[in-house]
A and B are shown apart, each in its own frame.
Chain A
Amino acid sequence: MSTTLDMTTTELREVNSTLQSAAKAHANEDYVITNPRGSHAMACGLDGPLSVVVKGSTGYYCAGMNKEATVTVEGSAGPGVAENMMSGVVTIEGDASQYAGATGHGGLLNIKGNASSRCGISMKGIDIVVHGNIGHMSAFMAQKGNLVVLGDAGDALGDSLYEARLFVRGNVKSLGADCIEKEMRPEHIEILKELLEKAGADAKPEEFKRYGSARKLYNFNIDHADEY
Chain B
Amino acid sequence: MDKTPQTEPRQSWTFSNSINSEIRRAAETGIYDIRGGGAKRRVPHFDDLLFLGASMSRYPLEGYREKCDTSVTLGTRFAKKPIELKIPVTIAGMSFGALSGHAKEALGRGATMAGTSTTTGDGGMTEEERGHSEKLVYQYLPSRYGMNPDDLRRADAIEIVVGQGAKPGGGGMLLGQKITERVAGMRDLPIGIDQRSACRHPDWTGPDDLEIKILEIREITNWEKPIYIKVGGARPYYDVALACKAGADVIVLDGMQGGTAATQDVFIEHVGQPTLACIRPAVQALQDLGLHREVQLVVSGGIRTGADVAKALALGADAVAIGTAALVALGDNDPKWEAEYNKLGSTTGAYDDWHEGRDPAGITTQDPELMKRLDPIAAGRRLRNYLNVLTLECQTLARACGHNHVHNLEPEDLCALTMEAAAMAQVPLAGTNWYPGKPGF
- CB-CB contacts below 8 Å: A30-62 with B: 40-41, 44-45, 47, 59-61
Q: A12-B219, A44-B219, A45-B220 are in contact. Are A122 and B190 (CB under 8 A)?
A: no
Contact in complex: B148, A103 (CB < 8 Å): no
Contacts of B188 in A (CB 8 A): 105, 124-125, 143-144
Nearest CB in chain A to that of B218: its residue = A41
A219 at the interface (CB under 8 A from B): yes
Nearest CB in chain B to that of A163: its residue = B190
Shortest Cβ gap from A46 to chain B (Å): 9
Shortest Cβ gap from B161 to chain A (Å): 14
Shortest Cβ gap from A59 to chain B (Å): 7
Contact in complex: B212, A17 (CB < 8 Å): no
Cα separation A16 to B218 with both chains bound (whole Å): 11
Contact in complex: B220, A99 (CB < 8 Å): no
Contacts of B237 in A (CB 8 A): none
Contact in complex: A122, B144 (CB < 8 Å): yes
Q: A103-B147, A218-B193, A220-B194 are in contact. Are A64 and B220 (CB under 8 A)?
A: yes
Contact in complex: B202, A16 (CB < 8 Å): no
Nearest CB in chain A to that of B190: its residue = A163
- CB-CB contacts below 8 Å: A185-228 with B: 218-220, 222
The number of chain A residues with a CB under 8 A from chain B is 42
Shortest Cβ gap from A104 to chain B (Å): 10
Shortest Cβ gap from B217 to chain A (Å): 9
Shortest Cβ gap from B203 to chain A (Å): 4
Contact in complex: B212, A40 (CB < 8 Å): yes
Contacts of B143 in A (CB 8 A): 122
Among B189, B190, B203, B222, which residue has the most Cβ atoms of chain A within 10 A? Answer: B203
Cα separation A129 to B147 with both chains bound (whole Å): 23
- One digit per residue, 1 when the CB lies within 8 angstroms of any chain A CB and 0 when it does not, for chain B 31-70 equals 1000000000000000000000000000000000000000
Contact in complex: B213, A61 (CB < 8 Å): yes
Contacts of A13 in B (CB 8 A): 219, 223
Shortest Cβ gap from A156 to chain B (Å): 15
Contacts of B152 in A (CB 8 A): 65
Contacts of B412 in A (CB 8 A): none
Shortest Cβ gap from B189 to chain A (Å): 6
Contact in complex: A122, B202 (CB < 8 Å): yes
Q: A61-B213, A222-B30 are in contact. Are A162 and B189 (CB under 8 A)?
A: yes
Contacts of A140 in B (CB 8 A): 202
Cα separation A13 to B213 with both chains bound (whole Å): 15
A80 at the interface (CB under 8 A from B): yes
A73 at the interface (CB under 8 A from B): no
B196 at the interface (CB under 8 A from A): yes
Contacts of B221 in A (CB 8 A): 45
Contact in complex: B194, A218 (CB < 8 Å): yes
A150 at the interface (CB under 8 A from B): no
B209 at the interface (CB under 8 A from A): yes
- One digit per residue, 1 when the CB lies within 8 angstroms of any chain B CB and 0 when it does not, for chain A 132-167 equals 000000001101100000000000000010110000
Shortest Cβ gap from B218 to chain A (Å): 8
Q: A61-B212, A162-B189 are in contact. Are A67 and B149 (CB under 8 A)?
A: yes
Shortest Cβ gap from B94 to chain A (Å): 22
Contact in complex: B216, A44 (CB < 8 Å): yes
Q: Which residue of A17, A61, A160 contacts B196 across the interface (Cβ within 8 Å)?
A: A160
Contacts of A144 in B (CB 8 A): 188
Cα separation A125 to B213 with both chains bound (whole Å): 22
Shortest Cβ gap from B426 to chain A (Å): 39
A118 at the interface (CB under 8 A from B): yes
Q: A122-B143, A220-B31, A222-B30 are in contact. Are A45 and B190 (CB under 8 A)?
A: no
Contacts of A218 in B (CB 8 A): 176, 190, 193-194
Nearest CB in chain B to that of A160: its residue = B196
Contact in complex: B219, A103 (CB < 8 Å): no
B-side interface residues toward A, CB under 8 Å?
A: 29-31, 143-144, 147-150, 152, 173, 176, 187-190, 192-194, 196, 198, 202-204, 209, 212-213, 215-216, 219-223
Question: Could you list some 7 contacts between A and B, CB below 8 A?
Answer: A40-B212, A65-B152, A98-B203, A99-B203, A121-B202, A121-B203, A143-B189
The 8 closest A-B pairs by CB, nearest first: A45-B220, A41-B216, A99-B203, A218-B193, A65-B149, A80-B203, A124-B188, A103-B144
A-side interface residues toward B, CB under 8 Å?
A: 12-13, 16-17, 20, 40-41, 44-45, 47, 59-61, 64-65, 67, 79-80, 83-84, 86, 98-99, 102-103, 105, 118, 121-122, 124-125, 140-141, 143-144, 160, 162-163, 218-220, 222
Beyond the given A45-B220, A86-B148, A222-B30, please list 17 additional residue pairs across the A-B interface where CB-CB is below 8 A. A13-B219, A20-B222, A61-B203, A64-B220, A67-B149, A80-B213, A84-B144, A84-B149, A121-B202, A122-B143, A122-B198, A141-B198, A143-B187, A162-B189, A163-B189, A218-B194, A220-B173
